[in-house]
Amino acid sequence: MTNKAQYMTPEVKVRERLKLVFTGHVDHGKSTVIGRLLYDTNSLNRGIIDKVKKISAETGQPFEFAFLLDAFEEEQKQGITIDTTQLQFKTEKRDYVIIDAPGHKEFLKNMISGAADAEAAFLVIDAARGLEEQSRRHAHMLALLGLNQIGVIVNKMDLVQYDRMTYEKIVAEISQFLANLGLETSVCLPLSALSGQNIVEPSPELAWSNGPTLIEALDSLAKGTEDDLSFRLPLQDVYKFDDRRILVGRIEAGSIKIGDRVALSPGRKVTTVTKLAAWLARDEKTRAHAGESVGLMVSDEFFNRRGEVVSSAEKPPLVSQRFKASIFWMGRSPLIPGHHYKLKLATSETEAWVSEIIHLIDSATLDALPPTNNRVGFNEVALVEMNLSKPIALDLFSSHKATGRFVLISSFDVVGGGIITWAEDTGDVKYGFIHGQLKARCEVFEEYYYNADEMAVNKIAQEKPLYTIGDLVPLTGQSYVYPEFFDIVIFRDLVAVKIRAGQVADILPLSDYAFQGWPLVNGRGFGVMVRSQDDWLRAKADLATLTSENQTARVQRWLDFNTYRHIPIGVHDYSI
């Protein structure tokens, strides 16, 4: 008999891993709690401990548990956490990634970086000092970041002689605050990190709490999953390294299998998954789940680009250019309505601006406040209305986290983050021109051809870009040639567009447009036969009030197809 055992994988038991962040006001002892937890569970290697001992000896300071995490010289010298750290440790039940987040308000952006990565959070509160400004602000941030498992640690119980009343008062206060944020408190416990009470072993001093130790509290948290939601995969890229065309991205929600009908939004084009591609044959599979990075092959070749969202065909995301969001501002300069930012949502990047600051939210009381000077300042939270330069695929944060949140960039830096609370679904309507609130559809650069098989004129399906002031437009196509200077009048959206030297020079309401002698085309690229302002006013009156009775006569009177367009014979379907 051959010895089979040696070919078997030695460890098949799969351990769960949970990411936990510790947050709270500066000096309430987050780093000490974590340092103590890691030290008491023997999770730190000797090198780190020796290093901290060496530093303590050199500086004549007592051994500082927080230094086990606060690795930067500046952090140790000042005794505060500046940046977030991640460390790992394990209990019997599972593995943990422990994230330490700074509590000083100057470093809120670092706290957010740490907390955004977590699946559950602990709020650490100093028993002697109770809730302070950053305790509440951090709780508010955790709600905005979508964390719904929050534990409460009342630390430094030694400073209040392990007093039960003090503990219960703090717990009642924070639980109420969390409830106002729509959050339930998952677990609460008193402890003293400095003296090691209630970390690993139950503390005799805290016997009245009957509660869990810190280790037990960690293990009581549940691990969430995005697997049951409808499928979402924000497209990262399209690869054509060889003869395969592979759409790549990470599954943010739901699952996908070969044969599934999927939609690609914002275009909402529908196709079928034919293969989940992989480098190694052993990695090829028929089904993939939330969290996996996959390569999809589909039955139809569309023009696909990064930023599109692949979804189930039945439950696609919203397609929107306007939404409301709760945002938190991390920029040194305030958010200003009308100022343009780059918005990054999943893998899409779009130009965006705030059209209205609806109200600010006071992080201490959660009250709605009117904005000061119509600005959102550093570390402030606000409800705003956002506008985008083009429609993108998105979701409400309450239905899909990954496609319902975004960051804003201003001159290279992330200055804000937000979660979408309401969105106007514009669906399939695709605009071709945009400027501020003005939007117009555009068929000026569409290509037509004569299909000799069908003896019909067909339009070639193509991806349409969105033009705004300053953009170059394609003056020459296969089926049209426009002059370098001309005007476009779009009656159905009541917008006029001026093209000068091949560039969009202006986009204005049709009512403000005056004819200045430049060649004129309508929204489909047909010539509009006017020679004077009087002609234009008559044409406008006629064409803006078309009915089924009058339209043939009026269209024939004012419009001419052949001025700038012709119809080439399409070669794809031509057979003799």
Partner 1 sequence: MDHIQSLEAYSIFILREAKSRLGRLGLLWSIGKDSTVLLWLAKKAFFGHCPFPFIHVDTGYKIPEMISYRDKVVKELGLELIVHQNKEALADGMGPDKGRLVCCQALKTGALNDMTRTYGFDGLIVGVRRDEEGSRSKERVFSERNQSDEWDYTNQPPELWGQFKTDFPKGHHIRVHPLLQWNEIDIWRYIEAENIPVIDLYFTKNGRRFRSLGCAPCTGRIKSEASNVSEIIEELKNTNTGERDGRAQDQADPYAMQKLRKDGYM
Candidate segments 70-78, 158-166, 310-318, 352-360, binder of partner 1 by CB under 8 A: 70-78
Nearer to partner 1, 410 or 426 (CB): 410
* Residues 397-416, interacting with partner 1 (CB under 8 A): 402, 405, 407, 409, 412-414
* Residues 138-197, interacting with partner 1 (CB under 8 A): 145
If binding is defined by CB under 8 A, does position 303 make contact with partner 1? no
* Residues 549-568, interacting with partner 1 (CB under 8 A): none
According to DSSP H, which parts of 419-576 are helical?
Answer: 533-543, 551-558
Query: Which positions from 332 to 351 touch partner 1 by CB under 8 A, shown as an x/- string?
Result: ----------x-x-xx----
Q: In this structure, which amino acid lies at residue 539?
A: A
Residues with Cβ < 8 Å from 18, sequence gap 6 or more? Answer: 94, 95, 96, 97, 119, 120, 218, 221, 223
Nearer to partner 1, 298 or 504 (CB): 298
Place of tokens 């349409």: 464
Which one-letter DSSP state was computed for residue 13? P
Q: Which of 88, 333, 372, 551 binds partner 1 (CB under 8 A)?
A: 88
* Residues 226-245, interacting with partner 1 (CB under 8 A): 236-237, 239, 241-242, 244
Q: Which of 61, 79, 95, 257 binds partner 1 (CB under 8 A)?
A: 95
Residues 336-349: b if buried by 16+ CB within 10 A, e if exposed: beeeebbbbbbbbe
Q: Which of 27, 40, 41, 51 binds partner 1 (CB under 8 A)?
A: 51
Q: Which of 87, 183, 247, 489 binds partner 1 (CB under 8 A)?
A: 87
CB 380 within 8 A of CB 336: no
Calpha distance 65→67 (Å, rounded): 5
Smallest separation (angstroms) from partner 1 to the CB of 406: 8
Nearer to partner 1, 330 or 444 (CB): 330
Calpha distance 439→320 (Å, rounded): 13
If binding is defined by CB under 8 A, does position 9 make contact with partner 1? yes
If binding is defined by CB under 8 A, does position 248 make contact with partner 1? yes
Candidate segments 68-76, 203-211, 446-454, 512-520, binder of partner 1 by CB under 8 A: 68-76
If binding is defined by CB under 8 A, does position 128 make contact with partner 1? no
- Give me 570's structure tokens: 């399409």
Burial class of residue 252 in the structure, from the number of CB atoms within 10 Å of its CB (0-12 exposed, 13-18 middle, 19+ buried):
buried
Nearer to partner 1, 116 or 188 (CB): 116
The count of C-alpha atoms lying within 13 angstroms of the C-alpha of 402, restricted to the half-sphere facing its C-beta, is 26
CB 340 within 8 A of CB 403: no
Closest to 465 measured CA to CA, from 433, 496, 495: 433
Smallest separation (angstroms) from partner 1 to the CB of 405: 6
Beta strands in 362-443 (DSSP E): 368-369, 381-394, 405-410, 413-424, 433-435, 438-440
Q: Residues 433, 439, 444, 445: what is their CA dihedral angle, to the nearest 10 degrees?
A: 40
Nearer to partner 1, 116 or 504 (CB): 116
Helix/strand/coil for 454: coil
Residues with Cβ < 8 Å from 208, sequence gap 6 or more? Answer: 164
Beta strands in 170-313 (DSSP E): 185-190, 232-239, 246-250, 255-257, 261-265, 269-276, 287-289, 293-298, 309-312
If binding is defined by CB under 8 A, does position 295 make contact with partner 1? yes
Nearer to partner 1, 410 or 468 (CB): 410
* Residues 477-496, interacting with partner 1 (CB under 8 A): none
If binding is defined by CB under 8 A, does position 46 make contact with partner 1? yes
Nearer to partner 1, 96 or 558 (CB): 96
Nearer to partner 1, 288 or 438 (CB): 288
Total residues at the site for partner 1 (CB under 8 A)?
72
Closest to 200 measured CA to CA, from 189, 212, 215: 215
Query: Which positions from 411 to 450 touch partner 1 by CB under 8 A, shown as an x/- string?
Result: -xxx--x---------------------------------
H or E element that contains 114: helix 108-116
Smallest separation (angstroms) from partner 1 to the CB of 403: 11
Nearer to partner 1, 52 or 188 (CB): 52
Smallest separation (angstroms) from partner 1 to the CB of 328: 10
Strand order in the sheet with 503-509: 503-509, 495-500, 486-490, 520-522, 527-528, 559-560
Strand partners, 467: 433
Calpha distance 178→532 (Å, rounded): 67
Helix/strand/coil for 535: helix
Candidate segments 27-35, 46-54, 205-213, 463-471, binder of partner 1 by CB under 8 A: 46-54
Residues with Cβ < 8 Å from 278, sequence gap 6 or more? Answer: 284, 285, 295
Helix/strand/coil for 183: coil
Nearer to partner 1, 37 or 125 (CB): 37
Calpha distance 462→309 (Å, rounded): 18
Candidate segments 32-40, 53-61, 197-205, 565-573, binder of partner 1 by CB under 8 A: 53-61
Candidate segments 85-93, 255-263, 549-557, 565-573, binder of partner 1 by CB under 8 A: 85-93
Candidate segments 84-92, 156-164, 521-529, 540-548, binder of partner 1 by CB under 8 A: 84-92
* Residues 11-40, interacting with partner 1 (CB under 8 A): 11, 14-17
Nearer to partner 1, 277 or 336 (CB): 277
Q: Which of 279, 373, 549, 556 binds partner 1 (CB under 8 A)?
A: 279
Q: Which of 110, 197, 198, 265 binds partner 1 (CB under 8 A)?
A: 110
H or E element that contains 122: strand 120-126
Nearer to partner 1, 137 or 435 (CB): 137
If binding is defined by CB under 8 A, does position 85 make contact with partner 1? yes
If binding is defined by CB under 8 A, does position 117 make contact with partner 1? yes
* Residues 514-533, interacting with partner 1 (CB under 8 A): none
Nearer to partner 1, 244 or 531 (CB): 244
